[in-house]
């Protein structure tokens, strides 16, 4: 695999499993220095050790993206260790335990608030901290969903949050793309 990301510093949220874990491995294999976060420390520490054992550089920190102070601390520690921030992949997210059963009519406030706080507000907290620490251009990737553009019955909080991520991403791209050479894009798996 090419090392086209050699010495680029990239932060990844939601790195404890799934897409986040796979993204960390792929970026590290391409030479990036990885700072990963998630809610479960052990998978993060295991992955950081695996990356470092293969000759890469990685750090792991437990971060709840719903907590602005934790997000800011993680990004500050990343910059302190690696000296800069070049990119971000914001994959942290939550889905309701009763996916496809939470209609607008019967949605509980707690579920709604948790999904919006994690998927939308958490993405904004991360993006804000990342932008404040990107100096010479960069790239931020957020995670929407196909549901964010077409809607899905029974998962209104998730759809609303992911639709918000799409709008947040478009606005940020227009704010920082032309003036700071920072690309901001949203994937929709």
Question: Of residues 132, 162, 170, 174, which has the active-site annotation?
Answer: 162
Model confidence pLDDT, tens digit, residues 106-145? 888 888 999 999 999 999 999 999 999 999 899 999 999 9
What predicted TM-score, i.e. pTM, was given to this entire model? 0.95
Q: Is residue 76 part of a domain?
A: yes
Query: 39-61: string of b/e by CB count within 10 Å (b at 16+)?
Result: eeeebbbebbeebeeeebbbbbb
Q: How far apart are the first and last CA of the chain?
A: 24
- Residue 63, domain extent: 9-187
Q: Is residue 2 part of a domain?
A: no
168, 93, 94, 91: which is closest to 124 by C-alpha?
Answer: 168
Q: Is residue 1 part of a domain?
A: no
Angle (deg, nearest 10), helices 122-133 and 156-180: 10
Is 125 among the catalytic positions? Answer: no
CATH number at residue 181: 3.40.50.720
Is 25 among the catalytic positions? Answer: no
Q: Is residue 3 part of a domain?
A: no
Question: Of residues 84, 125, 158, 170, which has the active-site annotation?
Answer: 158
User: What does R_g of the chain's alpha carbons equal in angstroms?
Assistant: 16
Model confidence pLDDT, tens digit, residues 30-88? 999 999 999 999 999 999 999 999 999 999 999 999 999 999 999 999 999 999 999 99
């Amino acid at each position: 695999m090419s090392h086209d990301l050699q010495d680029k510093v990239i932060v990844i949220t939601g790195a404890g499993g799934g897409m986040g874990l796979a993204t960390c491995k792929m970026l590290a294999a391409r030479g990036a220095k990885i700072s990963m976060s998630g809610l479960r420390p052990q998978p993060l520490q295991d992955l950081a050790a695996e990356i470092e054992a293969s000759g890469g550089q990685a750090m792991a920190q437990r971060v709840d993206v719903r907590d602005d102070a934790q997000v800011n601390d993680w990004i500050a520690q990343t910059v302190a260790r690696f000296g800069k921030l070049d990119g971000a992949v914001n994959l942290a997210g939550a889905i309701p335990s009763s996916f496809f059963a939470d209609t607008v009519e019967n949605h509980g406030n707690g579920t709604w608030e948790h999904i919006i706080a994690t998927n939308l507000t958490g993405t904004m907290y991360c993006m804000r901290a990342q932008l404040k620490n990107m100096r010479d251009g960069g790239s931020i990737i957020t995670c929407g969903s196909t549901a964010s553009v077409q809607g899905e019955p029974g998962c209104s909080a998730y759809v609303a949050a992911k639709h918000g991520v799409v709008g947040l991403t478009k606005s940020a791209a227009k704010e920082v793309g032309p003036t700071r050479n920072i690309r901001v894009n949203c994937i929709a798996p």
